[in-house]
């Protein structure tokens, strides 16, 4: 079971919400805190999922491409992310997005409970490099 958005940072050290077998502080926490950059778009995708589980809107904005950053929706994003119970991330496919690439795609399913009902976000996300850092650009929802 993945840590939920309302759990404490101590709980976050048990298992990273992104599903990797590392503690949050050794996995996505390093990227979210700025101690290291995501080296692939998959790492950025995982860190963004982890940020959603803790409603870390600052990181979500920072890791979003500057051309279409949803600044006006900031409060709604935070409110929604805090209102759901995050259940897990499933990576379905990746294309490009490696250390030497400038663009990449990650198809994923993010599972969550909303008002007692299991829901999912199924998306193919586009990532690009901006100022030598991976950022989220857009996604196609299925």
- 1 located within any domain: no
128 located within any domain: yes
19 in any annotated domain: yes
- For all residues of the chain together, what is the average pLDDT? 92
What is the total count of domains within the chain?
Answer: 1
C-alpha to C-alpha distance for 24 and 125, rounded to whole angstroms: 23
In a domain, 121, yes or no: yes
Contact 135, 64 (CB under 8 A): yes
* pLDDT digits 0-9 by tens, 124-135: 999 999 999 999
Instruction: Kindly state whether residue 108 falls inside one of the protein's structural domains.
Output: yes
**Residues in CB range of 139: below 8 A, 6 or more apart:** 123, 124, 125, 126
Q: What is the CATH number of the domain that holds 39?
A: 3.10.450.50
pLDDT digits (tens, 9 = 90+) for 50-68: 999 999 999 999 999 999 9
Q: Is 45 a domain residue?
A: yes
| Residue at 3 is within a domain | no
Residue 24 lies in a domain: yes
Which domain, by its residues, includes 54? 9-141
pTM: 0.89
Per-residue pLDDT tens digits for 11-28: 445 789 999 999 999 999
Q: How high is the pLDDT of residue 15?
A: 87
Write out the DSSP string of the chain: -PPPTTS-HHHHTTS-TTS-SS-GGGTHHHHHTTSS--SSHHHHHHHHHHHHHTT-HHHHHHTB-TTS--GGGHHHHHHHHHHSEEEEEEEEEEEE-STT-SEEEEEEEEEEEETTEEEEEEEEEEEEEETTEEEEEEEEE-
Output the CA torsion 21→23→28→34 (10° steps).
Answer: -150
| Averaged pLDDT, 86-108 | 97
pLDDT of 123: 98
pLDDT tens sequence across 32-44: 999 999 999 999 9
């Amino acid at each position: 079971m993945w840590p939920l958005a309302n759990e404490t940072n101590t709980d976050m050290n048990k298992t990273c919400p992104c599903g990797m077998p590392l503690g949050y502080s050794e996995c996505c926490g390093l990227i979210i805190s700025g101690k290291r950059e995501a080296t692939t778009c998959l790492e950025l995708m995982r860190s963004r999922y982890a940020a959603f589980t803790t409603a870390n809107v600052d990181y979500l904005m920072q890791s979003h491409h500057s051309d279409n950053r949803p600044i006006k929706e900031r409060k709604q994003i935070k409110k929604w992310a805090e209102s759901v119970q995050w259940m897990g991330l499933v990576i379905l496919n990746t294309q490009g997005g490696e250390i030497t690439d400038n663009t990449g795609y990650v198809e994923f399913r993010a599972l969550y409970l909303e008002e007692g009902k299991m829901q999912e976000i199924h998306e193919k996300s586009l990532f690009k490099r901006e100022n030598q850092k991976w950022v989220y650009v857009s996604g196609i929802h299925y």
